Amino acid sequence: MNYRAFKLLYAWKDLNGKFNLAVCGLLLLLSFILSCAPSIRKDIDLSFFKNRDDSLKRAIIINSIEERNRAVEDDIKWINTAYERFLIKSLYDINEEDYAQYSGYLDNGSVYIIVHPAYYTFFQRPLFPFDDVISVDNELDRLLGEPNFSPKTTLIKAQEKALRDFLEYASTTKRLVILILPGGYKKYDGYKFKGHRDEFRRYINEVTNESESVVYMYSKKPNRGLLTEKDTARLLKFLSAIKPRNILIGGGYLGRCLEDFWRTIEPFYSERIYLVPELVAISPSDMGVFQAYGMLRSDGTVDIEKLTENIRNNNIGNQDIQPRLKNMSDINER
């Protein structure tokens, strides 16, 4: 008998020191159910949605995420499929007549656009030996399990984790998310898995949970956030059809690919686009050790206020780019 069952039974002892058999049976059944229930992922940070969903709802959703991770995404057949193709829809494959239907997934009127998610993990992480053995953990989860050697490493991993948690939760709760993936990344020399299993594709599939509320398209180049003219027109037509009140932008990197994308749609939605500090990443090339340390809390998570202040006070990225981040938004206050 496990410890929880023992405590439950002991609490129901009668005054004569004997157990009520009916009660014992019920409590043993309850204990069995509790012991079989999936554990909640304690490492998922849902502060982003703290003002949207109550604690019970968040706990149920986390439980659902963990159940899928274990029952579906740890299965080798599913993993092999996740390497072969994307399990979410491409914006290219959705009929224009169906665009308006996606307005039903808006999050209180907002659409999220994430540019080049997990770029550090798959495109900038230092070289490491390729493992021929397929792990139940995707590459980002493996990165998060590695030790931190400096404040820069801690901040980079915190940024990657925050976006992972958001995508897991947003896709499970059917919030509308548009992913801008690096165009032609599989042939890009900077892709750490070029010529091997497509670990980036697997990661995207895992964190988006085959959700119908998540769609993707590609940037023009793997290391730039600009879209082709044709794809810009396609995205604008989609946005026009769903009529979002706000366009909330995240991803990486600030002052680089993120700024490229911002400049693409700013002429059309200048009053409705917002950069969300909780969902952005800064390139390790654009910060020093002390700068990174200043943007961390004592528990190793990102200090959003310090990050926001840093963005406003510094030209992050290419010097010829002046990030226009006047509309930065703390979504928790919206």
pLDDT(313) > 90: no
pLDDT(318) > 90: no
| Same domain, residue pair 220 and 311 | yes
Helix (H) or strand (E) holding 114: strand 110-115
| Same domain, residue pair 245 and 309 | yes
pLDDT digits (tens, 9 = 90+) for 148-175: 889 999 999 999 999 999 999 999 999 9
| Same domain, residue pair 20 and 80 | no
pLDDT at residue 48, as a whole number: 61
pLDDT at residue 36, as a whole number: 36
| Same domain, residue pair 28 and 105 | no
End-to-end CA distance of the chain: 48
| Same domain, residue pair 128 and 19 | no
Confidence class for position 236, pLDDT limits 50, 70, 90:
very high
d(CA 50, CA 332) in angstroms, rounded, equals 7
* Number of independent structural domains in the chain: 2
d(CA 303, CA 280) in angstroms, rounded, equals 12
Q: What is the mean pLDDT of residues 234-256?
A: 93
Q: What is the mean pLDDT of residues 281-295?
A: 90
CA distances from 181 to 85, 122, 159, 234 (A): 14, 12, 17, 15
pLDDT(11) > 70: no
d(CA 138, CA 22) in angstroms, rounded, equals 46
Stated pTM of the model: 0.81
> Which residues lie below 8 Å from residue 16, measured CB to CB, with a gap of 6+?
none
| Same domain, residue pair 29 and 93 | no
Task: Quote the crossing angle between the two packed helices 199-208 and 151-172, to the nearest 10°.
Answer: 50
Q: What is the mean pLDDT of residues 121-148?
A: 86
> Which residues lie below 8 Å from residue 90, measured CB to CB, with a gap of 6+?
215, 216, 217
pLDDT at residue 82, as a whole number: 97
pLDDT at residue 4, as a whole number: 38
Contact 110, 246 (CB under 8 A): yes
Which among 172, 167, 162 is positioned nearest to 64, based on CA atoms?
172
| Same domain, residue pair 50 and 75 | yes
pLDDT(327) > 70: no
| Same domain, residue pair 2 and 61 | no
Query: Which residues form the domain of 28?
Result: 1-37
Q: 3-12, 148-157, 262-271, 279-288 — which is least confidently predicted? A: 3-12
Of the chain, the percentage scoring pLDDT greater than 90 comes to 52
| Same domain, residue pair 23 and 51 | no
pLDDT digits (tens, 9 = 90+) for 85-110: 999 999 999 999 999 999 999 999 99
| Same domain, residue pair 281 and 166 | yes
> Which residues lie below 8 Å from residue 147, measured CB to CB, with a gap of 6+?
none
pLDDT at residue 321, as a whole number: 38
Contact 281, 156 (CB under 8 A): yes
Q: What is the mean pLDDT of residues 51-80?
A: 84
| Same domain, residue pair 293 and 273 | yes
The residue that leads in pLDDT, 19 or 66, is: 66
| Same domain, residue pair 204 and 242 | yes
